[in-house]
């Protein structure tokens, strides 16, 4: 016999998108597909000493932010986590998540930031990754299930998040890959990532598997498909299998030459708002010299260099370094990790930090403390690591402002920009 259901009240939403409530024994439990203000019946599925995970059995009373999720696959699909909340409710929850992380992890008392909404609530993702599994002589391809990530929910282009070009290309690819997807690289499981550029062209990245398949047939059969790249099992880099080495993207008025897995944000319209805000803060400081750390393809470096600012960019990805050097000839772009190269770039007046989800290496924090720029602009995709890093920087910097941007509607993810000033200047 399984554990009996319990009735609980949902009081908040955790960083992963699950609702938060308390069981009768006082433990916190996390329940997906619940909303603040809900009264729900749940069944515990994972029990720990201080907390538990539960599955929603039924909603007894709905909170004010609950809505019927627009996607018909939402009940099972693990791609979205908070689509059952109104968009205004999603923004409010993200503001709470950022403020809570800064307070709880970073020890910083700050008001909930305003979250700038995405211009598009749906059809905003220019890059989407799908799971493909070959089984029983056929193919299942789509997204992993919410409660059973070992299962793949078969799905075509009806997902509401991809840009139209990605959704259309996914349907065409599914029709063109042949019996048991024999035109794709071999292997029981693959990850397929489609990325669209502004003119509707699409690139395909294939992770996993072994042999190359028949990629030329795919490019010929899927008109938007410009290139197919493959990173086999245990390989570190992608190899071009078919199509164009370089695909041209237009990003915020900048021409960007995209190759393989060079990073750009998934939400081009919301990213434009974030990037404009970072540039506004940077120029307001009237810097003579700027460090653009984790600079990617050099979008900030280009704009600063054209304005006559001396810029030093640091980036580890070779393809992104090449594009940053091409697009920002007036900047000095160094290839390597920020922790290894930052000492060579300092001192500067302003440092722009845009690290991956893991946040700043301790050596980066130490370098900033040793030669502190007058201003730090920290762009973060994870409130928890942002808060941790701000706590580490607390002795040298004071918080000036916090702004969040919703680059990921229907999910619990949020981008945050923090401005810090050096406490000794």
- Give me the residues paired with residue 375 across strands: 350, 421
Place of tokens 């540039």: 279
CA of 362: how far to CAs of 293, 368, 369, 375, in Å?
A: 15, 10, 11, 19
What are the helix and strand counts (H, E) for the chain? 9, 22
Q: What is the 3-state secondary structure (H, E, C) of 213-232?
A: CCHHHHHHHCCCEEEEEEEC
Q: CA 93, CA 96: separation in Å to the nearest integer?
A: 5
**Is residue 80 annotated as part of the catalytic site, yes or no?**
no
Q: Write down the catalytic residue from 71, 159, 295, 381.
A: 381
Q: CA 124, CA 43: separation in Å to the nearest integer?
A: 35
3-state secondary structure of 189: strand
Angle of helix 299-306 relative to helix 318-327, nearest 10 degrees, comes to: 20
Half-sphere exposure of 180 (CA within 13 A, CB side): 10
Q: CA 75, CA 178: separation in Å to the nearest integer?
A: 30
Two tokens at 23?
Answer: 């069981």
3-state secondary structure of 122: coil
User: DSSP states of 51-103 as a string?
Assistant: EEEEEEEEEEE--TTB---S-TTTTTBSS-SSTTB-HHHHHHHHHHHHHHHHH
Two tokens at 404?
Answer: 């969040």
Place of tokens 């290496």: 361
Question: Which sequence positions are flagged as catalytic?
Answer: 381
């Amino acid at each position: 016999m399984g554990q009996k259901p319990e009735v609980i009240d949902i009081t908040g939403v955790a960083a992963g998108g699950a609702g938060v409530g308390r069981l009768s024994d006082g433990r916190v439990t996390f329940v997906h597909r619940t909303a603040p203000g809900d009264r729900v019946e749940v069944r515990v599925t994972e029990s720990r000493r201080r907390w538990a995970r539960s599955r929603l059995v039924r909603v007894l009373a709905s909170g004010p932010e609950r809505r019927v999720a627009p996607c018909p696959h939402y009940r099972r699909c693990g791609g979205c986590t908070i689509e059952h909340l109104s968009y205004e409710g999603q923004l409010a929850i993200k503001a709470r998540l950022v403020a809570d992380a800064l307070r709880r992890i970073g020890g910083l008392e700050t008001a909930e930031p305003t979250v700038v909404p995405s211009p598009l609530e749906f059809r905003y993702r220019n890059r989407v990754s799908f799971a493909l599994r070959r089984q029983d002589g056929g193919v299942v391809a789509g997204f992993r299930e919410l409660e059973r990530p070992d299962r793949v929910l078969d799905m075509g282009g009806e997902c509401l998040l991809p840009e139209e070009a990605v959704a259309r290309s996914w349907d065409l690819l599914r029709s063109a890959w042949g019996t048991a997807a024999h035109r794709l690289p071999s292997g029981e499981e693959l990850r397929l990532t489609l990325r669209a550029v502004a003119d509707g062209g699409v690139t395909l990245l294939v992770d996993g598997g072994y042999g190359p398949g028949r990629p030329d047939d795919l490019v010929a059969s899927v008109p938007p498909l410009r290139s197919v790249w493959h990173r086999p099992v245990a390989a570190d880099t992608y190899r071009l299998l078919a199509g164009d080495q370089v695909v041209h993207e237009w990003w915020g008025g900048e021409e960007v030459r995209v190759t393989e897995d060079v990073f750009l944000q998934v939400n081009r319209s919301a990213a434009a708002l974030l990037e404009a805000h970072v540039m506004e803060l940077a120029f307001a400081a009237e810097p003579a010299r700027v460090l653009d750390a984790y600079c990617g393809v050099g979008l900030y470096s280009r704009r600063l260099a054209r304005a006559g600012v001396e810029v030093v960019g640091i980036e580890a990805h070779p393809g992104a370094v090449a594009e940053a050097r091409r697009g920002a000839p007036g900047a000095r772009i160094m290839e390597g990790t920020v922790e290894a190269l930052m000492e060579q770039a300092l001192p500067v007046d302003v440092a722009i930090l845009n690290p991956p989800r893991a946040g700043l290496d301790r050596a980066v924090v130490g370098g900033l403390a040793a030669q502190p720029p007058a201003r730090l602009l920290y762009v973060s995709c994870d409130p928890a690591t942002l808060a941790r890093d701000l706590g580490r920087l607390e002795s040298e910097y004071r918080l000036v402002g916090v702004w969040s941007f919703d680059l990921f509607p229907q999910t619990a993810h949020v981008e945050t920009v923090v401005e810090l000033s050096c406490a000794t200047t």
